Amino acid sequence: MKKMNTYLEYVEALEQLVKAGKEIVPGRAPACKKTAISCDAPNVLLFSPHPDDECITGALPLRLMRETGMKIINVPVTFGSNADRRPERAAELKNACGFLGWEIFQRTEETDAASPSHFRMLTKADVIKLLKTIRPAALFMPHSKDWNSRHIDTHFLVRNALTEMDVSFSCTVIETEFWGAMSDPNLMIEADAELLADLVTAVSFHVREVERNPFHLLLPAWMQDNVRRGSELVGGQGEAAPDFSFATLYRLSRWENGTLLNRAEGNRIVSISDPLTDLFQGEGHGNYY
């Protein structure tokens, strides 16, 4: 890359990169590197309001799978508001999760995958049954003010299901953001270029969605801005930004004894070289998985 002398050159280069990215055919890539998952690996449920949300907020799930061997199970809460598109979105989701090496929760009680009922929004009863069956070590869900109505619905769907669980049930709860930023994230997770490229590629498998709005090409810029926000929201007001290029912000809590407990030991900024195993060892809670 040639040396730049002005910020205009810098901005124009960014603009040209996005334009060049539009020439890449979406949804065409061999599967990325696979991680061996043992049959007794801890399960992680990723509650996704729409197909594509699993990839957009997927930096931590992908790192958990690759670095700790946890099994990621995506749970599509809806297949979008356009009924005609739902079978196609389900196929795109299968391709995206297949690329990353994630499983997809299958609604086994429905035998006809082409029937409209197969694509209904999950109910609280569905989520309760899933929590009782899977007994996840951790779950992801949008935070309660993530702007999009389906994201907010998904938060309260999962939260209300948790309140119906027996008090013996416990798991780590990780809230995500995309449309509406959290005012109080407590966790910033670094992504390197390779991991981010895999997420961009995975989002691109949602072909019709990225034709409508190129979420995949703008994901790096969003994750750059997360470094800016996270340096002070997570690191502390006035603190210097870590030397990260890309990051995603989350809120880490613990569901225990029928209530959501705040993380006791404060905020965390986790670089690409930091072990993730420490994340789930909360003060007073023991090992989270």
Domain presence at residue 174: yes
Residues of the chain with pLDDT under 50: 111-112, 282-289
Range of 279's domain? Answer: 40-107+114-283
Nearest to 235 by CA among 194, 203, 266: 266
Q: Is residue 24 part of a domain?
A: no
| Within-domain flag for 12 | no
CA atoms of 77 and 284, how far apart (whole Å)? 33
Residue 155 lies in a domain: yes
For residue 30, being part of any structural domain is answered with no
Q: What does the chain look like in DSSP terms, one character per residue?
A: -PPP-SHHHHHHHHHHHHHHHTTSPTT-----------TTPPEEEEEESSTTHHHHT-HHHHHHHHHH-PEEEEEES---S-GGGHHHHHHHHHHHHHHHT-EE---TT---TTSGGGGSPPPHHHHHHHHHHH--SEEEEE-TT-SSHHHHHHHHHHHHHHHTS-TT--EEEEEE-SSS--SS--EEEEE-HHHHHHHHHHHHTSHHHHHHS-HHHHHHHHHHHHHHHHHHHTT-TTPPPPS-SEEEEEEEEEEETTEEEEPTT--EEE-TTS-SGGGGEETTTEE--
**What are 166-206's pLDDT values in tens digits?**
999 999 999 999 999 999 999 999 999 999 999 999 999 99
pLDDT confidence of residue 116: 58
In a domain, 289, yes or no: no
Can you give the CATH number for the domain in which 203 is found? Answer: 3.40.50.10320
Distances (CA, A) of 141 to 46, 138, 153, 177, 252: 7, 10, 10, 9, 11
Number of domains in the chain: 1
Q: What is the pLDDT of residue 286?
A: 33
pLDDT of residue 283: 36
Would residue 229 count as lying in a domain? Answer: yes
Residue 201, in any domain of the structure: yes
